[in-house]
């Protein structure tokens, strides 16, 4: 029997006994182990292990485990009754107690938890840093070729259309305090509303800041002006000067802005129209412009001079500027030079103006499903101009050169 008890000694049961979690059967087993002299060495080894587990601090004074063992053994022999076991445990608690166990466990937990928290903090930081770097580096770009139109949806739910010869660059996921995209060309956007994260359209001219709205932005790299049309909502126009952002003006639904930032042929023709018009008012400050825009009625225009260019704001029918997304080309008193630019991109052709006086003519028209030949014929019938096509040349790779068309006055 003694051999049986010796083989059955388990450290886990001894530990449960001193933690006061052992069952009645397990307590009886411990009493039998202690009453068997052959188990003294094994039992002492278990006590030493238990003590080191409870108090790993090697600098604290050591305890006489032999004395402890004698005391435990003597107490059990004296009582011999189960109801006295509790008294035995209470008398031994000053030496091995739950307070001591929890105190040392807390100390162990603190030692282990600090590096664990530091590691977790480092992981979280690096995860955020990785995401930030991804947001700065990883972009998608939508490219719409000449003679085509395409639709898109951005990661935030913003939807829109790209006009021919345009591109839109955006991050695979929007991070930070703003949703920024880069536009070259023309786009109509239905921006998803997020009051905590404005949507910013970066262009070669003014940046456009919106929260949630429908608008059209026209900003091609080969032209020195851009146009912004607001269909609904509210937007703010921002001028960049290095790291600075300067608010130029805000826009209300139904307003159209033309920003001319360098002089070219188009701007010269547009300036002529501005000077000849009696419906355009000049304003001297941003405040005057905003006050004027609030009271603006259809047909009214205002111009505000800013450093490096000027802004013209007017109240107009938005369909004039946004109908391209529905396959319509609407012209409303547009100068010939602007009309030809739009047709060039619409049909992927190139016009050669042989007589500069052609730029003085303006047109009213709406084209929807007409092909290029039909458009040119209609323009010739309604004005003193004519068109002459050049044969397209076949290139080395088997493709053909862009269609070139001369524009001249009729004899």
pLDDT tens string 277-334: 555 677 777 788 888 777 787 777 888 888 778 888 888 888 889 999 999 888 888 8
What is the secondary structure of 186-243 as a DSSP string?
A: EEEEEPPP-TTS-EEEE-SS-EEEESS-EEEEEE-TTSSEEEEEEEES-EEEEEEETT
Residue 23 and residue 66 share a domain: yes
What pLDDT does residue 111 have? 47
Position 383 pLDDT exceeds 70: yes
Average pLDDT over residues 183-195: 95
* Residue 96 contacts residue 50 (beta carbons within 8 Å): yes
Same domain flag for 158 and 286: yes
Which range, of 27-31, 108-112, 343-347, averages the lowest pLDDT?
108-112
Whether 333 is covered by a domain: the verdict is yes
pLDDT at 110: 46
pLDDT at 21: 76
Q: Assign residue 361 the CATH number of its domain.
A: 3.55.50.30
Provide the terminal-to-terminal Cα distance of the chain, rounded to the nearest Å.
130
Report if residue 123 sits inside a domain: no
| Cα(390)–Cα(409) distance, integer angstroms | 17
Q: By mean pLDDT, which of 38-47, 156-165, 263-272, 287-296 is the weakest? A: 263-272
Residues 70 and 195 in one domain: no
Per the domain annotation, does 266 fall within a domain? Answer: yes
Provide, rounded to the nearest whole percent, the portion of the chain with pLDDT above 90: 27
Instruction: Examine the domain organization and report whether 265 and 393 are in the same domain.
Output: no
Range in 72-81, 244-253, 362-371, 388-397 with the lowest mean pLDDT: 72-81
**What pLDDT does residue 393 have?**
87
Q: Residue 235 has what pLDDT?
A: 93
Domain boundary among 284, 299, 323: 323
297/174 same-domain check: yes
Does the structure show a pLDDT above 50 at 114? Answer: no
Residue 236 shares a structural domain with residue 222: yes
Which pLDDT belongs to residue 359? 83
180 and 60 belong to one structural domain? no
Same domain, 246 and 289: yes
304 and 365 in a single domain? The answer is no
Asked if residue 144 is part of any domain, the answer here is yes
274 within some domain? yes
Instruction: State the burial class of residue 315 (Cβ atoms within 10 Å of its Cβ: 0-12, 13-18, 19+).
Output: middle
The domain of 55 spans: 2-96
Give the CATH number, domain containing residue 149: 2.60.120.1440
pTM of the model: 0.63
Give the chain's domain count. 3
**H-run or E-run covering 332:** strand 329-335
Residues 388, 281 share a domain: no
pLDDT for position 84: 46
From 291, 323, 355, the end of a domain falls on 323
* pLDDT value of position 155: 93
pLDDT, residue 398, reads 82
**Predicted local distance difference test score (pLDDT) of residue 165:** 92
Q: Are residues 144 and 290 in the same domain?
A: yes
Query: Among the three residues 292, 323, 354, which one is the final residue of a domain in this structure?
Result: 323
Residue 127 lies in a domain: no
Mean pLDDT computed over every residue of the chain: 77
Residue 343 lies in a domain: yes
Is the predicted pLDDT of residue 13 greater than 80, yes or no? no
In this structure, the answer to whether residues 279 and 147 fall within a common structural domain is: yes
Is the sign of the CA dihedral 361, 366, 372, 373 positive or negative?
Answer: negative
Segment 59-70 mean pLDDT: 51
In a domain, 125, yes or no: no
């Amino acid at each position: 029997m003694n051999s049986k008890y010796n083989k059955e000694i388990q450290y886990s049961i001894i530990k449960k006994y001193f933690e006061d979690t052992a069952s009645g059967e397990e307590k009886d087993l411990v009493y039998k182990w202690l009453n068997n002299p052959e188990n003294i060495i094994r039992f002492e080894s278990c006590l030493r292990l238990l003590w080191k587990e409870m108090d790993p601090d090697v600098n604290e004074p050591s305890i006489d485990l032999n004395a402890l063992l004698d005391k435990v053994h003597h107490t059990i022999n004296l009582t011999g009754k189960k109801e006295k076991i509790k008294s035995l445990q209470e008398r031994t608690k000053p030496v091995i107690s739950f307070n001591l166990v929890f105190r040392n466990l807390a100390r162990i937990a603190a030692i282990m938890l600090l590096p664990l928290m530091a590691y977790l903090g480092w992981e979280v930081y690096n995860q955020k840093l990785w995401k930030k770097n991804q947001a700065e580096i990883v972009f998608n770009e939508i490219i719409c070729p000449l003679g085509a139109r395409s639709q898109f949806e951005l990661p935030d739910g913003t939807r829109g259309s790209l006009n021919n010869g345009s591109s839109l660059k955006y991050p695979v996921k929007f991070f930070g305090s703003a949703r920024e995209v880069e536009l070259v060309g023309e786009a109509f956007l239905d921006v998803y509303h997020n009051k905590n994260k404005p949507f910013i359209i970066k262009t070669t001219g003014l940046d456009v800041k919106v929260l949630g709205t429908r608008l059209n932005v026209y900003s091609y790299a080969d032209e020195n002006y851009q146009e912004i049309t607001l269909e609904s909502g509210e937007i703010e126009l921002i001028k960049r000067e290095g790291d600075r952002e300067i608010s130029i003006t805000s826009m209300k639904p139904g307003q159209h802005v033309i920003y001319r930032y360098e002089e070219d042929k188009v701007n010269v023709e547009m300036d002529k129209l501005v000077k000849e018009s009696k419906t355009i008012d000049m304003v001297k400050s941003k405040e005057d412009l905003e006050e004027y825009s609030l009271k603006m009625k259809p047909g009214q225009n205002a111009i505000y001079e800013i450093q490096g260019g000027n802004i013209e704001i007017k109240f107009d029918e938005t369909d004039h500027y946004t109908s391209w997304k529905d396959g319509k080309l609407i012209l409303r008193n547009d100068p010939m030079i602007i009309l030809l630019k739009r047709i060039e991109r619409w049909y992927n052709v190139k016009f050669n103006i042989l007589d500069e006086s052609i730029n003085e003519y303006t047109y009213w028209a709406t084209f929807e499903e007409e092909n290029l030949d039909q458009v040119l014929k209609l323009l010739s019938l309604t004005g003193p101009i004519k068109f002459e096509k050049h044969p397209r040349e076949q290139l080395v790779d088997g493709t053909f050169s862009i269609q070139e068309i001369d524009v001249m006055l009729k004899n």
